[in-house]
Amino acid sequence: MAKNASKKNVCISLSAEQKIPILGLGTWNSEKNKVKEAVIAAIDAGYRHIDCAWVYGNEEEVGEALKEKCADGTVTREEIFITTKLWNSFHSPEDVLKNMEDSLKHLQLSYVDLYLMHWPTAFKSGDNPFPMGPDGGFLVGSTDYTQTWQAMEKLVEKGLAKSIGVSNFNVAQLKRVLELPNTVPVAVNQVELHPYLPQQELFTFCKSKGITVMAYSPFGSPGNPFRVAEDPTLMEDPVVVKLAKKHNVPPALVLIRYHIENGTPVIPKSTTPSRIQVNLKVYQSDFMLVGKGAKCSPCPGAHTHQIPH
């Protein structure tokens, strides 16, 4: 099943040498002690792209799953695309390598395919990932993200990352990075993206600069702890529900398909094997939201972030 399913993966190019599977498994906010089995289920189903981050606290589970599936011959390391991220408290140039090496140790890998700066904001350096001041606010660091980026470029030179990029950057922040005498291109900007938050200006800018936009929280993150009662529920949106009924698929597949038809890598999160398998059926179901060559449009409604931005 895994070999046949994996052949249906759609990939897009990050560079002349590297391709990324457009559908990946997200691991943010996943239940502890369920991530290993989720990654195993995903690889067995045919996923070849796993999205991680140091701050998620579950890279070790991902690493155990990768080791097991490589050992049993389901996949080789070269067949799996692994993304992970530099956390805010390691933005100082001298700390960047330390955070990368920590992630590699957890993942039991010698390199990652993509390494992202998780946020443009630096926290105070140290072992505490969420340093708080007496006023209850985060203690920020003095390192500018452009300095952090230049330190990340050295990770590619060392062979620890094949590509590097950013996450949660806006247009102004991207421009500052692009103005640097970069030795390594900005491959990806991973942001919250879904029909309620299409981020068209950012998407257009990134496309014009050859930066791939990757979508997290494609379902509007209905389970995130920062939601309030007034937030709309994307999976229950009348347009999404209507399309799901029309094509006889779950609403989740409509929202994943929205990104695939726009050429956007997307990383839905789940630790439920049955849902992981269903999400992959987006390749097997012969439905299209719009005609060939057209682009999907956002849903009418509140265009708001579902997590702090």
- The residues assigned a catalytic role are 56
108: number of Cβ within 10 Å: 15
Question: Among 221, 224, 223, 171, which Cα is nearest to 200's?
Answer: 171
What burial letters (b/e) apply to 24-56, b meaning 16+ CB within 10 Å? bbbbbebeeeebbbbbbbbbbbbbbbbbbbbbb
Tokens of residue 166, six digits: 């950013």
Angle subtended by helix axes 93-107 and 59-71, to nearest 10: 50
CB of 152 closer than 8 Å to CB of 96: yes
User: Rounded distance, CA 65 to CA 252, Å?
Assistant: 25
Question: Among 300, 216, 304, which Cα is nearest to 264's?
Answer: 216
